[in-house]
Structure 1
């Protein structure tokens, strides 16, 4: 028996392990299933089969007129009575949707009664010789039960046996010779055996066809399910079980087409797990996978309730596509996503922003009418919103705002501008003096990058620096700034030290220290005259690549300054890991000194740094009163508009008396 055929029983009842004792019940069950499924064919064959049989039965009335004319009127009447009655009963049963067994019984009864109804008046004919030969007509009724209808085998055999019995009884009483009785009796039996055997073979073939069809259906079903499983696998992220990027892109394309054709608005939300690399490095990849799985499950439950879809878009990045109607709906869903992850409370003690659990940043974009819009546009907008969410402290949600200069289409123009800024001389450096509070002399200059458009319009650093970091243009711009600063040091020996702001992106880039060494070599200046300002910000993660890069820079003699101290949560950790030459206190602490509380905070910070041994630089000095406070606290260095505004390098030559130049060169900051 076919394994596929046996497995089909699983659709009817649970299949237990196959044993020898269970083989017969399984075969019996298969036959029961075969007969149940063959009922439709039997029902379909009943009506045309009986109608054709009745027509043929009535057509033989011509033979009655020729062979038994004396009783033809009776035989013909019997034919019509039986035929019409059988058809009427069959139609009634079909109308009331009777069981198939009743239809079979009606057809079988019509065969038997049709023969008896014709036989009785025929037997009264005076044409005995014709009747004796005409009796062979009964074999047609016997064969019809076996061949012309799709009865079950046992049922057709019983019907044929009844007709055979009638034939033998009539054959016994018909006046004829022994040879006649023997020959025709053998003929009747031969017809019965032959047609019964043919019927048995037909039923066996039908059963085999059923098994083959069942096997084919199961193979097709298995192949279909396997294909569906492979399709699901090709569209599913193996770790989280969410849709993968391929599936998300297809769904996004469908939403976009609906938006273009029917105006069905939707939103794209990009979700990034905050500081996930630090989590993965500290807790291990298994815990990292577990973290992503927990976040994915939480987000899936949330978005499914909102009739949205979610997929994994990258390593620790997820994407949600939701058919929303308004910007308020988008903002609400973004905040719900952020809160859903926050309430999980997954421990993350390796963060440096004061938070001790896993959070996410969310960037969202919403469909809007704009010229020349493309599918990729909304993804880019969501990505820019995500970047701003991360830049604003993480664990927050930002919605793309076309009117926000940091996220609007203007940033794309700036990104394009940055690509040509160096070759078109659209980027330049200005320098702001850094004053020694004790001597009142300029000790160093801070290099500040400026960008202008081709028409001369200035682009604020607060606008183009984030774009440069996001697009990676900061790497080339940073190399240019370092080369330019080294060139200024070479051309102007009166400049003691130039500090250059270095982005975390640069420190993480392979070969950064080597490129700095090359710039120093080309300019022919010692590394001790160059300082790099590293901002204490959320984007600076203290992984091994950054620490190794800083160590290589210090080997070159370059001074490392910590910029904007106090604005983030990582400052103390940086002080513990790196021996900074100068620590730059953020301007906000000096400006808060107008209150006793703010002045106490400022003194505490100064005391902390003094105990660490670093030189202290306070920025944002804008008045003589603030300078007096710095003198009282014995601050080392000051910077601000009161000290000097940013200007080109040649503007500061007057700050260095000729008698001090060689001394300045011999004692770099």
Structure 2
């Protein structure tokens, strides 16, 4: 026979008449639910209640109570012990104690899930009376006396099964509710925390700051907001990859949390930017001490991809109530202070000061003006010649960018190029310069080249070779006439990617020059990494030729060019003496005011070329 699920139900018989208890035992002991197999038949346990045999639908354990109060104590004890009753048969009349209705009411106060059958004679309370006392419920049935054995068995079977089903449903409901609570907690955590670091996110940070500022209004205790930016994060992310960048962010998050502890909240505000609320400063400590501790923790050595690295940080701090009394104002002022810290060379912390917002406003105005300059085509190119040492031949012209503002006049590049690089506008500006320089060069003699400066930002999208190839095709300029000038900073920022793009440019036939040579930290090492076509010595060495150390560098650069078989250009030549000294050392090109100042494109032909030959005297 197939086995069904076995329940061991406790059944309470509540009646003041002992013979009634015997009657119940006889009823349940003599009526099998189905015929057992002969080998399983037990004459002492025909229903299989005691053995829990296969084929039975329930196992009943009977307990007797002769008065209502006794029943109440039994149910209370059973519930406390985790072995509750499933069903109770309760007599309506049980003198001298409480009657059946009162007993049932007390039992349900202890165990609302208890299934109850009220045993009553026809002369006792009606169903309407029971409803008035107990209310409408699905846990109550009435059994009229004298009762039928089959009716009692059916009630017991049905109600114990109902109790078991309700209990299982209750457990499942509890499990579902627990699951919902867990998932809700997970969703709330995901909504309020950063997935990478586990720190608070921007939403939770703003909520905490609003609460801290409300407390500040009552207690007058200061609340500091710090915005932290990692200075070298982009370099690490670009050179080692995003997994290493993520590792760094996690390490810094742990260090910041360790410093702040329970005295505030650390949040990841986005990318490599963190935000801190310091709202519980212990006595004897100041905000500056936390700032120093934070900077020291950030700058500690960290191992990424098996190699040691150190990063610095820039911090902007605003303190309530002096620097603001609401969240948005305080965060804005901290951000302004951070901008000042970055502008002063990074690796420093700055508190917000009145007037900083004016400087930021001015900075934003310049950015808007620069964007307008791109749209209104306010840029123009000036050209300065690069000539042979004997001043008889112009090899090429360097394209120099100028901004012709309608109100401010001609704006020099050192005033707007840093801003263009910071805002990434240099990418579109640089493409315009490249295209216009190639167009202008097409109007010059066929053997005259053009040199264009390219910013490191233009390498970041990896499409510079594609852009150059497109411009050369569009303008028809021979690739060998185009020279791209870069500084060492290009290779520092995007070393592997930049070198790959430079090789692609050389494969097109474009020449590559390393500008400001001699001022960087790794110039010589880059000569081994990439075969440059030209070295342009920084003008600072020419200006200090009377110093022995500067002259030694001039001589070294000239000899280096000879050894490597590449051109060398001396920039900043303004006097005859400077010219003679660099020529004696062996420089192959000269550039500077001594021969010619930068002039607009429209004047190049008339100034430096006639119908027969080039000018051979300084302008």
TM-score, scaled to structure 1: 0.59
Structure with max Cα Rg:
1
Among candidates 193, 196, 207, match of residue 239 of structure 1? 196
Question: 94, 107, 120: which one pairs with 1:190?
Answer: 94
Confirm or deny that 1:456 pairs with 2:377: no
Distance 1:286 1:559, change over 3 A: closer
3-state SS of 1:563 partner: strand
Structure 1 residues 540 and 154, CA gap change in structure 2 (3 angstroms): closer
Identify if the C-alpha distance between structure 1 residues 495 and 235 changes in structure 2 by more than 3 Å, giving closer, same or farther.
Answer: farther
What's the CA shift for 1:310? 2.4
Mapped to 2, the partners of 1:404 and 1:463 lie a distance apart of: 20
Matches within 5 A, 1:87-106: none
Verify the 8 A CA contact 2:333 2:352 in the aligned structure 1. Answer: no
The Cα RMSD (Å) is: 4.7
TM-aligned CA deviation for residue 461 of structure 1: 2.2
* Cα shift readout 1:452-478 (whole Å, capped 9, x = no counterpart): 433133434223212212222212211
Cα deviations by residue, 1:291-340 (Å, 9 ceiling, x for unpaired): 332221112222347x4432223344433345699xxx888765543332
Partner secondary structure for residue 108 of structure 2: helix
Partners of 2:360 and 2:224 in 1: CA distance: 19
2:270 aligned with 1:314: yes
How far is 1:386 from its partner?
A: 6.8
Q: Alpha carbons of 1:343 and 1:502: their partners in 2 closer, same or farther (altered >3 Å)?
A: same
Aligned residues: 474
Residues in 2 aligned to 1:482 and 1:210: alpha-carbon distance in whole angstroms: 85
Establish whether residue 590 from structure 1 lines up as the match of residue 542 from structure 2.
yes
Give, in whole Å, the separation in 2 of the partners of 1:366 and 1:460: 35
Q: What is the match of residue 598 of structure 2?
A: 646
Q: How much does 1:615 deviate?
A: 1.5
Structure showing the higher strand proportion among its residues = 2
Q: For the Cα contact (< 8 Å) 2:244–2:304, is it kept in 1?
A: no
2:360 to 408, 421, 446: 408
What SS does structure 2 have at the residue aligned with 1:433?
A: strand
Cα 1:396–1:264 shift into 2, 3 Å: closer
Contact 1:537 1:567 in 2 (8 A): no
| SS of match in other structure, 1:491 | coil
**Structure 1 residue 191: deviation in Å?**
1.2
Match of 1:302 among 245, 259, 264: 259
Aligned residue number for residue 504 of structure 2: 552
Q: 2:558·2:586 contact (CA, 8 Å) conserved in 1?
A: no
> Matches of 1:260 and 1:468 in 2, distance apart?
43
> 5 Å matches for 1:49-448?
146=69, 190-192=94-96, 195=99, 201-209=104-112, 224=181, 226-248=183-205, 250-251=207-208, 266-272=224-230, 274-275=232-233, 278=236, 282=240, 287-304=244-261, 307-322=263-278, 336-346=293-303, 357-364=309-316, 366=318, 377-378=332-333, 381=336, 384-385=339-340, 388=343, 392=345, 395=347, 408-439=360-391, 441-448=393-400
Q: Is the 8 A contact 1:146 1:199 kept in 2?
A: no
Secondary structure class of the residue paired with 2:94:
helix
How far is the alpha carbon of 1:489 from its aligned partner? 0.9
Label 1:310 to 1:202 Cα distance change in 2 as closer, same or farther (>3 A). same
TM superposition shift of 1:397:
5.2
Contact 1:345 1:357 in 2 (8 A): yes
Structure 1 equivalent of residue 44 of structure 2:
none
Unmatched segments (≥5 aa) in structure 2: 1-7, 11-65, 78-90, 115-166
Distance 1:190 1:449, change over 3 A: same
The one of 417, 430, 439 equivalent to 1:465 is 417
The unaligned stretches of length 5 or more in structure 1 are 1-22, 28-141, 157-186, 351-355, 664-669
> Is 1:431–1:445's contact at 8 Å kept on the other side of the alignment?
yes
Output aligned runs, 1:570-581, within 5 Å: 570-581=522-533
- Give a deviation string over 1:368-410, Cα, whole Å, max 9, x none: 589xx97885576467457647xx4x65556788878996322
The 1-side partners of 2:212 and 2:371 are apart by 33
Contact 2:541 2:554 in 1 (8 A): yes
Q: 2-side partners of 1:405 and 1:539: how far apart?
A: 34
Distance in 1 of aligned mates of 2:451 and 2:353: 35
TM-score with structure 2 length normalisation?
Answer: 0.63
C-alpha deviation, 1:556, in angstroms: 2.8
CA distance in 2, matches of 1:521, 1:154: 95
Higher share of residues assigned helix: 1
Q: Helix, strand or coil: the match of 1:574?
A: helix
Structure 2 CA distance for partners of 1:276 and 1:193, relative to 1, 3 Å: same
Structure 2 matches for 1:614-653, cutoff 5 A? 614-653=566-605
Quote the offset at 1:601 in angstroms: 3.9
Greater alpha carbon shift after TM alignment, 236-245 vs 652-661: 652-661
- Kindly indicate whether the alpha-carbon contact (under 8 Å) linking 2:491 and 2:498 is maintained by their aligned counterparts in 1: no
Equivalent in the alignment of 1:564: 516
